Chains A and B, each alone.
Chain A
Amino acid sequence: MTFGRKLLVGFGIAAGLFTAYASAADITGAGATFPYPLYAKWAEQYKAKTGVGMNYQSIGSGGGIKQIQAKTVDFGASDKPLKAEELEKAGLVQFPTVMGGVVPVVNIEGVKGGELKLSPTVLADLFLGKIKKWNDPAIAKLNPGVKLPDLGVTIVHRADGSGTTWIFTNYLAKVSADWKTKVGNDASVQWPAGVGGKGNEGVAQYVQRIKGAIGYVEYAYAKQNKMGYTQLQNKTGNFVQPDDTTFKAAAASADWKGTPGFGVVLTDQAGKDSWPITGATFILMQKKQDKPVNGTEVLKFFDWAYKDGDKASADMDYVPMPASVKDVIRGSWKQISDAGNAPIWK
């Protein structure tokens, strides 16, 4: 076989692969990395049931927002809810799919997972670089009976812009005036101290490697990697462990119906069992659909996911939306219409 022939055959195979790929991807979405494993699972189950495929690219929340604005995808996904006026301006509709929690993880010799208790102020002071040793009186006071070593604190944060960082800094800005003025709330911020890991896995790796490290990761990640997470004091003053019951408690006390675009930020919610750093992840769609057929398919997909997808969510440590909220969300889909202003969801 000559080189030219080989090349031709190669192109043929490549072309074959691409056509197979294109016909499988019937609806497309892009955005947040946090829900990616779940959306992939849902897509697989949905395809097996209906034959309609869903192709989701986890390019990050910022990318998801840009892509849906440019209409290159059928839906965008973001961990950071857009505000009502932003949605209005961009002509987008927003609704949440699942919730999850962000948990502080530590690597302190002699301290077991779930043992260490932190208050909001102490957590903020740690990440501000104000508390430099683990046996600091402020930490010791919260943890009588826990043997805290004379060990330096190393902060581990996300290096890449991330919805996880957005939720985490949103919480810190709510509970610490110092954090709000000095650092603020965004997908990436100017960290006062520490090292940056790329992705949840980068942060996890650094925390596990560096003695005296504290970082923050998605709950699912901490649980699956058996990392040493901490308890946190919530708004009511109780110390709570991160798990799906405390995430659900945080969601239960939120005002979903009264917030436009369901843009509720679940950090620092009231309620005695609420985990204070909880957040939902959101879907963004064009209010006026250029391709109403695709739009309907997207809504059918999420309708199915709300109905039959809860088991997959729970298996993968995501928290499904409460049933009452799901109905309100379905109701909100009526505002999505085709070019002739006819709603595409009935």
Chain B
Amino acid sequence: MTPQELRLKRQALQDMVFRGSTRFFAFLVLALLAAIILSLIHGAWPSIQAFGIGFITGSDWNPVTEQFGGWNSIRGTLLSSFIALLIGIPVSFGIAIFLTELSPAWLRRPLGIAIELLAGVPSIIFGMWGLFIFAPWFADNVQPWLTEHTAGIPMIGWLFQGPPMGIGMFTAGLILSVMIIPYIASVMRDVFEVVPPMLKESAYGLGCTTWEVVWNVVLPYTRHGVIGGVMLGLGRALGETMAVTFVIGNSHKAIESLFDPGTSIAATLANEFTEATGTLHTASLINLGLLLFLITFVVLVLSKLLLLKLQRGEGAHS
């Protein structure tokens, strides 16, 4: 065997080892995912057996009689995340547009860094800020005004009724929106920056306003990234625990307005896990965790499907 062949052989071996180990790491992720799902199902089994599908729709949560239904928590998770997106997306969009299109160059860096810093603030800080500073201010200055001015408006009047306590579903959504804005905004900014200047310049050259350029050129070019950013934010909102627990009000009751205290899956888990002694109580909490896992999974699948549909649409156009 010549030295040449020997080297080739060694290289082939190296490649094989390298390929094997990377494959192992990749499959490790899958194995972990499967292990988590299996252990969740195993832990939730007593609850699944006792309540079946009724666990999702049931709204009783009574540790004394051991009757558990997760609907109030599930709705709380979905509703607070929806409010967060409703407020977070437009604001993030505005931030990203300003940073990439309108801001003077000297302001871009400090603003961009500030947003990234906001993304790094631990969630417990948001929770404490929300409970001790934001909620009292909100209760005294905003809620009475909202209640007064929306009363009687059909469709949305009922949303803002109830005693102004500063805590509740709406506050939770607001705090969540503050938490996810940095994520969505920084992803949007990054993808807006990769739009080829030539495309934008031609649109400006044709006499488009900034809004028209953004809406018709930048956004279509970057929609994959934008949707990805929104999904990242949504993922954080769905699973956020501490900040929500502080301000959502933690009440397992059906809410009649957005100012009513409610609960979310993550908040229920954080509150009750330590003191859940009964088998069924613990299993029902794990069952809620499993449902949260499924919700996140469904959201991910839906966003992938949306992206696929968009891609197919592109093909049809050209």
Contact = CB atoms under 8 A, between A and B. Distances in A.
A256 interface: no
A59 B277 CA distance: 13
B62 interface: yes
A60 B282 CA distance: 14
Contact of B167 (A185, A187, A206): A206
B277 A62 contact: yes
B2 interface: no
A191 interface: yes
Contacts of A113: none
A187 B277 contact: yes
A65 B275 CA distance: 9
B69 to A, nearest CB: 11
A195 B274 contact: no
Given A159-B250, A195-B167, A196-B251, A187 B271 contact: no
Interface residues on B, range: 20 to 34
Interface stretch (B128-136, B186-194, B201-209, B224-232): B128-136
Nearest to B252: A190
A65 B277 CA distance: 8
A194 interface: yes
B261 interface: yes
A63 B131 CA distance: 27
Interface residues of A, number: 33
Contacts of A60: 274-275
A190 B64 contact: yes
Contacts of A186: 63-64
Contacts of B168: 195
A220 B271 CA distance: 22
Contacts of A260: none
A160 B250 CA distance: 9
Contact of B251 (A162, A195, A205): A195
Given A159-B245, A186-B64, A209-B166, A191 B251 contact: yes
Interface string A188-209: 1111011111100010011001
A343 interface: no
Contacts of A209: 135-136, 139, 165-166
Interface string A170-187: 000000000000011111
A309 interface: no
A161 B271 contact: yes
Given A60-B275, A63-B275, A198-B245, A152 B163 contact: yes
A61 interface: yes
A172 to B, nearest CB: 12
Contacts of A205: 131-132
A190 B60 contact: yes
Interface in B122-169: 131-132, 135-136, 139, 163, 165-168
A229 B49 CA distance: 45
Contact of A62 (B60, B135, B267, B274): B274
A264 B191 CA distance: 66
15 contacts: A62-B274, A160-B270, A160-B272, A161-B275, A187-B277, A189-B64, A190-B61, A195-B168, A195-B249, A195-B251, A196-B250, A196-B251, A198-B270, A206-B165, A210-B163
Interface of A: 59-63, 65-66, 152, 154, 159-162, 183-191, 193-198, 202, 205-206, 209-210
Given A152-B163, A198-B245, 14 more contacts: A159-B251, A159-B271, A160-B271, A185-B64, A187-B277, A188-B272, A189-B63, A190-B252, A193-B253, A195-B165, A195-B167, A196-B263, A205-B132, A209-B136
